[in-house]
Amino acid sequence: MTERGEQRERVPVGASAVPRHRVRLDQPRAPRRSRLPEYDPEAFGRFSERIARLLGTGRFIVWMTVIIIMWVVWNVSAPADLRFDHYPFIFLTLMLSLQASYAAPLILLAQNRQDDRDRVTHEQERKQNERSIADTEYLTREIAALRMGLGEVATRDWIRSELQDLVKEMVEQRALFPADPSHRRDEGDR
């Protein structure tokens, strides 16, 4: 025992005095520190979409053309000691290659993000169409059931036509069989 009352674990002879950490299976491992820089993929995706939108405009092409023309004119007509890229314009070629090497992956990333959005939108529209079709089929069945039920119900027009037919029959019977005054026995009882 030490002065504080703690017990020290006895280390076998020849073993290291550095305590080993036991691997606990009931707890998750601590996250490792990555040597790679961390970034927000969503923010990077939005940035790539902005760049792709810029690269796809006429404004970019006009400005790029103006810069290249100024570059070439400067390096051809400026005094020799102020020129920074002589005739074969190797530095200009390097800059354009660098711009193209970054632009292509950014454009592809923006297209992939747009494809993902289109896929999600397409899936939502497909589900909405399925619900609409199911609702339409249900309403069609309900209307058919109502029509079948109404086929057995007496409508106002049908009752009116039946009553008119009965009135015609009564008029015809009265014409054929006029009322006999001798059959009026109950008139004196009143």
The DSSP code sequence of 24-91 is PTTSPPPPPPPSSPP--HHHHHHHHHHHHHHHTSHHHHHHHHHHHHHHHHHHHHS-GGG-SS-TT-HH
pTM equals 0.50
End-to-end CA distance of the chain: 133
Question: Confidence class of residue 35 from pLDDT cuts 50, 70 and 90?
Answer: confident
Of the listed ranges 1-10, 12-21, 64-73, the least confidently predicted one is 1-10
CA 40 from chain center: how many Å?
Answer: 22
By the 10 Å C-beta count (0-12 exposed, 13-18 middle, 19+ buried), 190 is classed as exposed
What is d(CA 175, CA 169) in angstroms, rounded to the nearest whole number?
10
Average pLDDT, the chain: 83
Q: Which residue has better confidence, 139 or 20?
A: 139
**Number of other CB atoms surrounding residue 51 within 10 Å:** 17
Of the listed ranges 12-16, 59-63, 113-117, the least confidently predicted one is 12-16
Span 36-60, average pLDDT: 88
Question: Confidence class of residue 56 from pLDDT cuts 50, 70 and 90?
Answer: confident
Residue 2 has pLDDT above 60, yes or no: no
Q: What is the pLDDT of residue 116?
A: 93
Residue 153 DSSP class = S
Q: What is the pLDDT of residue 183?
A: 57
Three-class DSSP category at 140: helix
Could you tell me the CA-to-CA distances from 35 to 13, 32, 113, 129 in Å, in that order?
A: 38, 9, 27, 48
